[in-house]
Amino acid sequence: MNSKKLLDAAKTVSKKVLKVKKGERTLIITNPKKDCLEISQALYNAFNEAGAYPTLMIQPVKSSFDYMNVEVREAIASIPQVVCSISYERLGKDPVCLKEPLLSSDGKEYDNVFNFLLAEKEIRAVWSPGITKRIFVEAVPINYEKLKQRCHAIKEFMKGASEVKIQTLNGTDFSFSIKGREAKVDDGDFSGFGKGGNLPAGEIFISPVVGSSKGTFIVDGSISMEKTFLLKSPIKIEVENGYIKKVSGGSEAETLKRLIRKASIKPFKLAEKGILPKDKALEYSKNAKHIGEFGLGLNDKARIVGNVLEDEKVLGTIHIAIGSNYDEDAPALIHYDCVIKKPSVFIDGEPLMKNGKLIV
């Protein structure tokens, strides 16, 4: 991979996405994996060139069930202006906030200091679980003005809506309430405090009202679990009252069932160790089967490759996540994105997308 292309993409992040300023403290957290390290070094150089004060931290690879290093948590808690998580898998759970959640100014509880500081508009951030150099070079330097227009047109279309319905030709018939929820945009403009999202950017997403989702959805693109699986055969997921009742399909479906079971049992073990409050264990366990997110991919440079970080951004796809949500009222140890190709999407009965083609 041409190092100049990496640096150019990193400069795009610095100048157009985060708009890093002279004198700002910027924290980059990564893992000892080749692509992650090289991307992080490029970001370090770009931030340094902008006159910022970058710090690069390396911790072991973390899964959905692992804790971030104490030193990493302390660095985030020091409130740098910019935080970048360039991880092979995940940033890691926060062992301090899992035990004693932080209460935000709007009364929500946060089990991770990173999410808390973002919600309180103390930092701005990007996070890129599973990113590769190819994704960074191809899907990050894009037309952000065009993406922003697309994101905000859809957000306006969804504003004040009550119901989302999704159908596909291969059997998806799924709906949920979004009454009182606000769609969030990952438009690549993370220049203001409290703003953050993925690199590559390019989606709009919303948390279904807890307990409202119902029906069946067929996952035929990819699914993020311990790693991203480019599906060999579709996974059929049946949902009642907001929670998964049945999973069927091939080997990937069996892996999903195993990991949901693990995420259902783990909270009680954490409670026994005093890491998770005992009164929270049941909630975390139950939400391992919760439907936590609906999102639409809007990045026209992204393609389905078996890496959900890019797959979920592909224009013409949607994704439905199993586990925690972004409104902090359904905590879980997992958040597994399920990518679905060529859907039809209706907002209060009005078409937003037809067989993967945007109507708006």
pLDDT digits (tens, 9 = 90+) for 59-116: 999 999 999 999 999 999 999 999 999 999 999 999 999 999 999 999 999 999 999 9
Closest CA to 318 of 213, 215, 190, 220: 220
As annotated, the residues of the chain forming the CATH 3.40.50 domain(s) are 3-135
**pLDDT of res. 1:** 63
- pLDDT computed for residue 33 by the predictor: 98
> What mean pLDDT do residues 160-169 have?
99
Predicted local confidence at residue 227, as pLDDT: 86
CA distances from 39 to 32, 45, 63, 195, 300 (A): 12, 10, 20, 21, 22
* Mean pLDDT to the nearest integer, 257-276: 97
| Whether 56 contacts 99, CB under 8 Å | no
State the pLDDT at residue 226: 81
- Taking the C-alpha atoms of residue 262 and residue 256, their distance in angstroms, rounded to an integer, is 10
> 163: pLDDT confidence band, cut at 50, 70 and 90?
very high
Tell me which amino acid residue 121 is.
K
How confident is the prediction for the chain on average, in pLDDT?
A: 97
Q: What are phi and psi of 12, to 5 degrees?
A: -60, -45
Tokens 């971030």 — which residue?
68
Rounded CA separation 195/185 (Å): 10
**Residue 144: pLDDT above 80?**
yes
Of 226 and 341, which is predicted with more confidence?
A: 341
Nearest to 35, CA basis, from 350, 310, 232, 321: 310
Separation CA 314–CA 342 (nearest Å): 11
Stretch 220-245: mean pLDDT, rounded?
96
Q: Name the pLDDT band for 133 (thresholds 50, 70, 90).
A: very high
pLDDT, tens digit, 9 for 90 and up, residues 286-345: 999 999 999 999 999 999 999 999 999 999 999 999 999 999 999 999 999 999 999 999
Q: Does domain 3-135 sit in CATH 1.10.287?
A: no
Which of the four pLDDT bands, split at 50, 70 and 90, describes residue 2? confident
Tens of pLDDT, residue by residue over 11-26, are: 999 999 999 999 999 9
What is the C-alpha separation between 218 and 209, in angstroms, rounded? Answer: 21
Listed in sequence order, the residues at least 6 apart from 117 whose beta carbon sits closer than 8 Å to its beta carbon are: 76, 77, 79, 83, 123
Best CA proximity match to 91, nearest among 77, 109, 112: 112
